[in-house]
Amino acid sequence: MSDKLKVGILGGTGMVGQRFISLLENHPWFEVVTIAASPRSAGKTYEEAVGGRWKMQTPMPEAVKKIVVKNVNDVELVASEVDFVFSAVDMTKEEIKKIEEDYAKTETPVVSNNSAHRWTEDVPMVVPELNPEHYELIKYQKERLGTKRGFIAVKPNCSIQSYTPALFAWKKFKPTLVVATTYQAISGAGKTFKDWPEMEHNIIPYIGGEEEKSEQEPLRLMGKVVDGKIEKATSPLITTQCIRVPVLDGHTAAVFVNFEEKPTKEELIKALEEFSGLPQELNLPSAPKQFIQYLEDDNRPQVALDVNYENGFGVSIGRLREDSYFDWKFVGLSHNTVRGAAGGAVLSAELLKAQGYITKK
């Protein structure tokens, strides 16, 4: 009998679900034992349910091919087989809120990639290197849900991971104003070029709901736990534009920043390169050894060269230079389905296990 924690994937047939499954292959702490999806996939083997829609660049892991997919709505049945679940379900916001709470109430921790609970007062939204102290909210959430071990934890939007880590690294210089334009890969919409041929040689200047998330979620990450909820930070002011570009994986951000203090370029780069957090301190299995790399070449970071830095768990920053109107400007890059989605949730689960929030049932 394996001493690994038994994991279920809710929404396991979609792109983020597939990324969860590929990242968890041979994971030292976690083992995928259950996959749940929509009723139309239930009863089929995972291989049959996905069919020709496997979107990862690595083959489907052998260990999951013959797992019979369960109906994600059979909450008690799915929960009875696992220690915790990752959630990547494709439903309406209200349906997601309800089903994730239903799983939590079966005493099953839910680590979610979805946005539905990101603004629920007592649900922690965490990037493990940036704001792990927000997991303090879990005790308040358990009181509300009436659970002993069941809770929901979420990760933030994929687009903010390419620039928010830099803002945290530069906190001591007190950023006051941030203008960011993100150039977002099509896998962020759960698509490949095969599914979305009209994206080839094309740019779409609108991604529904993305700009509000990109402007507000960093302020929640920077907030403090006060009376069982997050008091959102009021600074820096952040304004964004979010654009879909013909790239498979990797969200790039072009960012302008003003600071209250006036750091030098050397101070800013040193702060990036020295920045680390609990995942590095605890040597978690998926943690990048160096969370943020700074690239000196003028033509970096590039998606083609840098998106898989630290197996997709690291963040790349480059082109830091003084601006005519702002203090500094830079370009950031992160892997949107690894660091920005499934991988960020896996790293969160590793930290939750290390801190005793996720245990065997």
Cβ-based neighbours of 103, under 8 Å, separated by 6 or more:
10, 75, 78, 79, 85, 87, 110, 150
3-state helix, strand, coil in the chain (%, to 5): 35, 25, 45
Q: Could you confirm whether 251 is annotated as catalytic?
A: yes
**Measured at the alpha carbon of residue 190, what is the angle toward residues 184 and 195, in degrees to the nearest 5?**
100
Please give the helix or strand (H or E) that residue 178 lies within, else none.
strand 175-184
Residue of 117, 134, 251, 335 marked active site: 251
N residues, the chain: 361
Cβ-based neighbours of 127, under 8 Å, separated by 6 or more:
155, 156, 161, 164, 165, 221, 344
The burial of 245, by beta-carbon neighbours within 10 Å (0-12 exposed, 13-18 middle, 19 or more buried), is given as middle
Instruction: Say which DSSP state 339 is in.
Output: I
Residue of 117, 134, 158, 335 marked active site: 158
Identify each DSSP E strand in 291-347 by its residue range.
Answer: 292-295, 315-322, 328-334
Cβ-based neighbours of 75, under 8 Å, separated by 6 or more:
99, 102, 103, 106
Cβ-based neighbours of 281, under 8 Å, separated by 6 or more:
none
The burial of 321, by beta-carbon neighbours within 10 Å (0-12 exposed, 13-18 middle, 19 or more buried), is given as exposed
Q: Could you confirm whether 158 is annotated as catalytic?
A: yes
Q: Give the type of residue at 289.
A: K
Count other Cβ atoms within 10 Å, centred on residue 167: 21
Asked if 114 and 96 count as a contact pair (C-beta separation under 8 A), the reply is yes
Cβ-based neighbours of 297, under 8 Å, separated by 6 or more:
318
What residues are labeled active site?
A: 158, 251
